[in-house]
Amino acid sequence: MSKSDAVERAMDRLGELPQAPAGDSVLYELRQFLRNRSNLVVAKAAAVSGHLNLRVLVPDLLVVFNKLIADASRLDRRCAALTEIVAALYKLECDEPAPYLRGIHHVQLEASFGPPVDAAATLRGLSAQGLLRTNHPGALHDVMPLLVDREASARIGAIRALSMNGGEAGVLLLKLKALHGDSEPEVVGECFAAMLAAAPDKSVDFVGHYVDSEDSSTVELAILALGESRQPSAFGILRQKWDRTVSRPTRKLLLLAMASSRLEEAIAFLISIVRDSATETAVDAIQALSMYRSSDRVSTSVGDAVFRRDEQAVSKAFKLSFPG
């Protein structure tokens, strides 16, 4: 049997284990797979361990982690196993800071068609999330540098860590990061969403200021984050932005954000637009409301508004967005 065949068989078996009867045999197999020479097999075994919530395997995961990270460039190409092990440790509520501390500082440059690629960026971000959940006294000090890590995925991981487990100090660091900005728009958007999730009462107005930013991508990210926060005060900001906006692309984005809020007042506002606004705007509102196509109540309300208009373009948009 070739090496590739052995790896393929191991991966197939790992795919079957979540459906296998729980018991010692599953634990035995997973322990064997965690010792496999293939880092891809180890990665999947770690993921299955986390998926099955097998906290008894935490010591095994720690042993494998320490072995791999000691010679990661040779033993764990693309950092596949180390990343999945840390993800599993986090899911299994491992409160030992040592693996997270090693992971948060790990850099693994690997050859690519262009400049070397840092394969450990995601690992650093996940390690930040784990570290902040431990009682390690210097956790914030270790995570903070990741906010300016050269890799976007590491910065995003740090933002998520500060949001979930950083407390009030973490929220302040997120605000500082937002004020400083980032070269990658997705990082700024993650920062907005993280602040709104961690401390909505203190963050809605802060993020709301960005809906009038001179940078169009920042405006879009702020609008979407406010909608996804599902905060009534955030809808108020979006509603005010609607009243002073004439650009159709921005108005379409506002409608989508309002619909995403899932607030009753937002849905009612969009239905009123379907009923009373100009044709193009009504069509845009119908498309935004299409995420509720499985809701009989919303579908009926939108359908009633369309029926009262009795306008061909609006009726066509409704049939396309609310089929059946």
The reply to whether 280 falls in a domain is: yes
Contact between residue 135 and residue 95 where contact means Cβ atoms under 8 Å apart: yes
Query: Residue 232: CB partners within 8 Å, gap ≥ 6?
Result: 263, 265
Q: What is the tens place of the pLDDT at every residue in 271-323?
A: 999 999 999 999 999 999 999 999 999 999 999 999 999 999 999 999 999 99
Enter the pTM of the model.
Answer: 0.89
Give the model's pLDDT for residue 157. Answer: 96
Is-contact 177 147, C-beta < 8 A? yes
Please check whether residue 193 is in contact with residue 228, taking contact to mean a CB–CB distance below 8 angstroms. yes
Note whether residue 80 is domain-resident.
no
How many domains does the chain divide into?
Answer: 1
Compute the distance between CA of residue 130 and CA of residue 296 in angstroms, rounded to an integer.
42
Q: Which residue has the tokens 């020479």?
A: 37
Q: Which residues pair with 118 in a beta bridge?
A: 109
Find the helix or strand (DSSP H, E) in which 27 lies: helix 24-34
Is residue 56 situated within a structural domain? no
- Cα 3 to Cα 147: distance, rounded to the nearest angstrom: 41
Domain assignment of residue 298, yes or no:
yes
Provide DSSP, 282-303: HHHHHHHHGGGTT-HHHHHHHH
**Residue 109 forms beta bridges with which residues?**
118
- Residue that is written with structure tokens 């001179």 in the block: 214
Q: Quote the pLDDT of residue 21.
A: 84
Joined together, the tokens standing for residue 39 give 């880092």
Please give the Cα distance from 5 to 60 (Å, whole number). Answer: 25
H or E element, residue 117: strand 117-118
In a domain, 26, yes or no: no
| pLDDT < 50 stretches in the chain | none
User: In the structure encoding, which two tokens stand for residue 3, read together?
Assistant: 């090496």
Residue 310: which domain range? 263-324
Q: How confident is the model at residue 100, as a pLDDT?
A: 98
Asked whether 221 and 215 are in contact (CB, 8 A), the reply is no
Evaluate whether residue 113 is within a structural domain.
Answer: no
Instruction: Tell whether 277 is covered by a domain.
Output: yes
Residue-wise pLDDT tens digits, 98-131: 999 999 999 999 988 888 999 999 999 999 999 9
In a domain, 248, yes or no: no
Write down the pLDDT at residue 126: 97
